[in-house]
Amino acid sequence: MRPRFARSVFLRGALGIAVAGVGFAGTTRLPASDAAPAAGSSDGTAGSSDSASGSSTGSADPKWRALQDKLRGRVILPGDLGYPMAKEVFNTRFDDEMPTAVVQVADAADVATAFGFAAENDLEVAARAGGHSYAGVSTATGTLIVDVRRLRGVRVEGGQAVISPGHTLYEVYGELDRSGQSLPTGMCPSVGVAGLTLGGGFGFESRAHGLTCDRLTAATLVLPDGTITEVSATARPDLFWALRGGGSLFGIVTSLTFDTIPATAKDVVRLTFSGENADRVIGGWQEWLRGADREQWADVSLDADGEGGLRCWMQLVCPAGSADTVTAALIDAIGVAPADIDTRTLSHMDTVLYLAGGTPDQPRAAFTNGSDIVSELTPDTIGRVLEAVTRFSSVGGTGWVQINTLDGAIRDLSPTATAFPWRDHAAMVEWGAYEPIPHDAAMAWLSDAHATLAPDSVGAYVNYLEPGDPLSRYYGDNHTRLSELRNRVDPDNRVRSVLTS
């Protein structure tokens, strides 16, 4: 069994900032009906118990049979053989949730059919792909889950990629890499590309190329009324604005088109510092960012050791061959020598794998997370962050904080250019605690951390959703426009949300 600290770092590599996909560059993958997983496959799609229809539902309720007859995909209900796996998500904390049904769709028409059925039966709908929703939305009790993992395909044409939403980040990275292309996405390999994109999408390429949503140029969207619409800057620009950072409030995407970026080799450096110097590390990191080239990226992590102390470490990513110079500049800005430096030169895909914790297959785990957005990282702000995590450590907590920068290309767009609003701000502070910390204890710490940082916090990141929060906490000044659009597109609140208006 891994030590608690090692396990926490391993899991954070899985959950920090992530995506995935499969196929052959320059080609289109098989249609979903032909590429569907085999019975008993690891994606939770159980084998059919009705070979004629592809249905695994044995329900005698005629409404479910009628729904199955309209689908190319299949319906899985409680009591069906494949239900336990079909409803399973990454966070084991939600294993007891009981969705009304899981509809494993085969195409956009199936999604429209599922929305129609939900309207007729007054059901909330939630999409499921990667299954990493921090709030467990994609497996919620009483909800009709629309599982898009059978919607597969990655097509690369010149500087664009058309990607189906059933892919994870690691799959997407791998497919694009075949053509020497990539996207600025996250570092958790099993996160779904659709959910990450719709909420924003941070990663080690963000300073150079912006958020994942900033590279989105078009999408196919199924609205809650069953309408299938193409969305871009010229087709439904209101929805295009909303999809770029506005989350999954407006329907279910069945295709995404991106402008790609070059996939290049990297130098990756891990620097470890004494926790006693954490304030100097964070302050120096901010100073270094002011003059660092956009191709250079780093974040700061703080781990509570459960004994009142902290561990402080950084990940630095820069162009291959530049590590010595870049690392020296970073250390000079911090003014404190690290206790340890690990430097390696890696191909693009090896960089992705290394930052993911060394493997694309991460173990399921119970965890609790949240975030704060800060406009500045002043000495007082840094002090409050350290105060919150140290206080948790002093009572046996082994939580952590990761601080990600919001500078560089993220600021090339105005806060109102897309739904993602945090473009004039310094950093995102992510709080997290993993098993064996109980959820109640973790939530108490998150509440304390938010209260401690309240003088500096202006909001939070929607991909690190916390149930019960107001919409305004995640969208700032953009929340009114999003609320109005949501009321027009989904007046019955068919799409499940854990936020208040």
Closest CA to 449 of 406, 498, 403: 403
Alpha carbon 263 to chain centroid, angstroms: 21
- What pLDDT does 500 receive? 85
pLDDT along the chain (501 residues), means of 10: 38 37 27 32 38 46 96 97 95 96 98 98 96 90 97 95 97 96 93 96 97 98 98 98 96 98 98 98 98 98 97 98 98 98 98 92 91 98 98 96 98 98 98 94 97 98 94 96 97 93 74
Name the H helices within 164-264.
169-177, 193-199, 206-209, 237-243
- Asked whether the beta carbons of 409 and 214 are under 8 A apart, the reply is yes
- What pLDDT does 16 receive? 39
- What pLDDT does 41 receive? 36
- What pLDDT does 58 receive? 54
- What pLDDT does 5 receive? 38
Separation between Cα atoms, residue 286 and residue 361, nearest integer Å: 33
- Lay out the sheet containing 427-434: strands in order across: 340-346, 266-274, 310-319, 297-304, 400-405, 427-434, 367-374, 457-459
- What pLDDT does 134 receive? 86
- Asked whether the beta carbons of 314 and 299 are under 8 A apart, the reply is yes
pTM of the model: 0.89
Residue 45 token pair = 């799609």
Q: If DSSP codes are grouped into helix, strand and coil, which group holds residue 190?
A: coil
- What pLDDT does 59 receive? 58
Q: Domains (ranges, CATH) in the chain?
A: 4-17+264-476 (3.40.462.20), 62-147 (3.30.43.10), 154-262+479-489 (3.30.465.10)
Separation between Cα atoms, residue 186 and residue 197, nearest integer Å: 10
Query: What are 369-424's pLDDT values in tens digits?
Result: 999 999 999 999 999 999 999 999 999 999 999 999 999 999 999 999 999 999 99
**AA letter at 188:** C
